[in-house]
Amino acid sequence: MQLSVRLHLLLILITGAAFSQAVKKSSNDPVKVTIKNVGKEINSAFSDFAPVISADGATMILTSRRPVTEKEIKKNKEGMERVFISHYDEKKKKWSVAALLPETINLPGRHNSAIALSNDGQKMLLYRDDENGNGDIWESNLEGENWTAPEKLPAPVNSDDHESSGSLSPDGRTIYFVSARKGGKGGRDIWLCRQDDSGQWSEVENLGSIINTSMDEESVFIHPDGKTLYFSSKGHKSIGGYDIFKTVLEDGNWSVPVNLGAPVNTPDDDVCFVVAADGITGYYSSAKAGGLGEKDIYKVFPVTVSKEKGPKLTLFKGVVIDKDSFTPLESEIEISDNEKNVVVSKIKSNSATGKFLISLPSGKNYGINVKKDGYLFYSDNLTIPDTSAYKEIIKTVPLEKLNVGSKIVLRNIFYDFDKATLRQESISEIERLVLLLNRNPTMKIELSSHTDSKGSDEYNVKLSQARAQSVVDYLISKNISKARLVARGYGESQSIATEDTEEGRQMNRRTEFKILEK
């Protein structure tokens, strides 16, 4: 895309300084929306635009035309489009000074623009123009503290036509993007493409006439809830130019797009709108009066008014460490839908910081498995009710090395009430044990079951022994030698929490495994 056209698409003109105005909801109740310049840490005296953010709003990557090279600085004129990064300091309530990313990202002599950031902030999509004035989508990954050299996404994502805006689904397996390719509804359309387990991309799918019109659509953004899509369009009923619209995926179909209304939309072009996972805070770029430069990045809030009307979503984030040294660890994190026994997400914690972030839609029971070679896997369980409003769960995950005596709680093994029958939701967890034992063929383990203090000692020991044996029997059915397995029922004799609360009793009702021999 030619530079002048591209900048035109990014232009958002909203007159006046930071302000609050009423926005009419469908119920006609007024809602105050504040639009505020994010400040000099991010914005410059030149054009700053196209913000993308991590799901928790802690990382922002933006595009800027501030002068960087000695020649550009000497002329004091706008330079090439380059990618910058900033981090939000929760304690200081401010953004860090935007830092220029290295030439691996900012290819010299080309316009480079960030167009998407994964939920955890560790994968970035970029737009790069070519010598013919067209553009394609590229991908870079954060390895430790460094971004990898971008790789051009293959066909069918990129084509001989122009691809610009893009956005990644929460699991990173679907890309929504804008393309002017043939076969659409007219002009630039929004398409999607899915990636399978082998990394291959499916054929592209047009999002259909509910979203795409005979005119141009632009600036697509899929929210971390995986079902709310924001985009700009000239073809839907608008205030003028490009307006920002919202549509929701319901029972496999997109709802009729809703115009976000004033003051977000204006008679001019309104594009590049992104929203944090909380559904409350959004960011976009604007050339309105009172800014620091030709175009600045602004914060708009609240996008939604309350948690009840916000996304039904939980952010599970934290850091993975070595249990003994507290050193951050890179690890594989696997999220399973326990009811369906299917893996819904796979990510890695950062190798330098150990940090991870996953968005989990409400209404499911999740099994969480964190693993690294040479360590016991970590097991956790999260049940998120369908009615649960947005929240964040922050966790430190300690991994214990594979040593004799090491043990972990298997938090995703479930039994029928007052019985030793394994429930279907337990299968994914036990299969992880099968994998661990197959990878360590000389390992011998103890499977132990524990109860709370309700019931007699004799009954609790009998029940716990039967439950431990159920797990052992399953492992034997998977060709794990009986000689490597010991089942022990301890009843209530090894409590780890108080029996005075239901929460404590629930912690005491558990299944563990311990390494007896390596």
How confident is the model at residue 5, as a pLDDT? 37
Instruction: Determine the Cα–Cα distance for residues 501 and 498; give it in Å rounded to an integer.
Output: 7
138 forms bridges with which residues in the sheet?
126, 152
362 with 454, same domain: the answer is: no
**Average pLDDT score over residue span 307-324:** 87
Instruction: Determine the Cα–Cα distance for residues 274 and 283; give it in Å rounded to an integer.
Output: 5
Tens-place pLDDT, residues 56-72 = 999 999 999 999 998 88
Give, rounded to a whole angstrom, the gap between the first and last alpha carbons of the chain.
60
How confident is the model at residue 307, as a pLDDT? 56
246 with 115, same domain: the answer is: yes
Higher-pLDDT residue of 399, 507: 399
379 with 468, same domain: the answer is: no
**How many domains, in total, are found in the chain?**
3
List the domain range (segments joined by +) for residue 145. Answer: 3-304
CA–CA distances in Å: residue 171 to residues 108, 150, 332, 339: 32, 20, 14, 19
Confidence tier at 135 by pLDDT (50, 70, 90): confident
322 with 263, same domain: the answer is: no
Q: In 356-440, which ranges are continuous DSSP H helix?
A: 427-439
Instruction: Determine the Cα–Cα distance for residues 454 and 295; give it in Å rounded to an integer.
Output: 66
**Average pLDDT score over residue span 342-352:** 94
Confidence tier at 305 by pLDDT (50, 70, 90): low
**Average pLDDT score over residue span 381-390:** 89
How confident is the model at residue 24, as a pLDDT? 36
230 with 294, same domain: the answer is: yes
Q: Give me the chain's average pLDDT, please.
A: 89
CATH number, domain of 167, equals: 2.120.10.30
CATH number, domain of 484, equals: 3.30.1330.60
Task: Please say which residue of 357, 373, 401 terminates a domain.
Answer: 401
86 with 188, same domain: the answer is: yes
Closest residue by Cα to residue 187 from 166, 206, 167: 206
- At CA 50, angle to CA 276 and CA 87, rounded to 5? 55
Tens-place pLDDT, residues 458-486 = 999 999 999 999 999 999 999 999 999 99
Confidence tier at 264 by pLDDT (50, 70, 90): confident
Instruction: Determine the Cα–Cα distance for residues 266 and 421; give it in Å rounded to an integer.
Output: 61
**Does 495 have pLDDT greater than 90?**
no
397 with 414, same domain: the answer is: no
Share of the chain above pLDDT 70, in %: 92
If you count them, how many residues does the chain have? Answer: 518
**Does 22 have pLDDT greater than 50?**
no
Closest residue by Cα to residue 213 from 233, 239, 238: 233
How confident is the model at residue 355, as a pLDDT? 98
Task: Please say which residue of 401, 435, 468 terminates a domain.
Answer: 401
Tens-place pLDDT, residues 86-121 = 999 999 999 999 999 999 999 998 899 999 999 999
Instruction: Determine the Cα–Cα distance for residues 267 and 12; give it in Å rounded to an integer.
Output: 9
Which residues are CB-neighbours of 339 under 8 A, at least 6 positions away? 364, 365, 424, 425
**Does 487 have pLDDT greater than 70?**
yes
Element (DSSP H or E) covering residue 5: helix 3-10
Instruction: Determine the Cα–Cα distance for residues 322 and 330; give it in Å rounded to an integer.
Output: 10
Q: Is 172 helix (H, G, I), strand (E, B) or coil?
A: coil
Q: Is 466 helix (H, G, I), strand (E, B) or coil?
A: helix
CA–CA distances in Å: residue 376 to residues 223, 346, 350, 496: 34, 18, 19, 20
Burial zone of 468 (CB within 10 Å; 0-12 exposed, 13-18 middle, 19+ buried): buried
Tens-place pLDDT, residues 441-459 = 999 999 999 998 888 989 9
281 with 351, same domain: the answer is: no
Instruction: Determine the Cα–Cα distance for residues 137 and 193; give it in Å rounded to an integer.
Output: 13
108 with 255, same domain: the answer is: yes
Instruction: Determine the Cα–Cα distance for residues 195 and 123; give it in Å rounded to an integer.
Output: 15
Instruction: Determine the Cα–Cα distance for residues 362 and 353; give it in Å rounded to an integer.
Output: 28
Buried b (16+ CB within 10 A) or exposed e, 234-263: bbbebbebbbbbbbeeeeeebeebebbbbb
Token pair 């968005």 in the structure block, residue:
359
CA–CA distances in Å: residue 338 to residues 101, 286, 376, 435, 473: 40, 45, 21, 18, 20
**Does 21 have pLDDT greater than 50?**
no
341 with 417, same domain: the answer is: no
**Average pLDDT score over residue span 226-240:** 90
391 with 264, same domain: the answer is: no
State the amino acid at position 265 in one-letter form.
Answer: N
Instruction: Determine the Cα–Cα distance for residues 140 and 487; give it in Å rounded to an integer.
Output: 47
Task: Please say which residue of 401, 421, 447 terminates a domain.
Answer: 401
Instruction: Determine the Cα–Cα distance for residues 469 and 182; give it in Å rounded to an integer.
Output: 61
Element (DSSP H or E) covering residue 32: strand 30-37
173 with 110, same domain: the answer is: yes
Residue 192 has φ and ψ, to the nearest 5°, of -135, 160
Closest residue by Cα to residue 377 from 307, 428, 301, 312: 428
Higher-pLDDT residue of 151, 306: 151
CATH number, domain of 330, equals: 2.60.40.10
Structure tokens belonging to residue 463: 């029940």
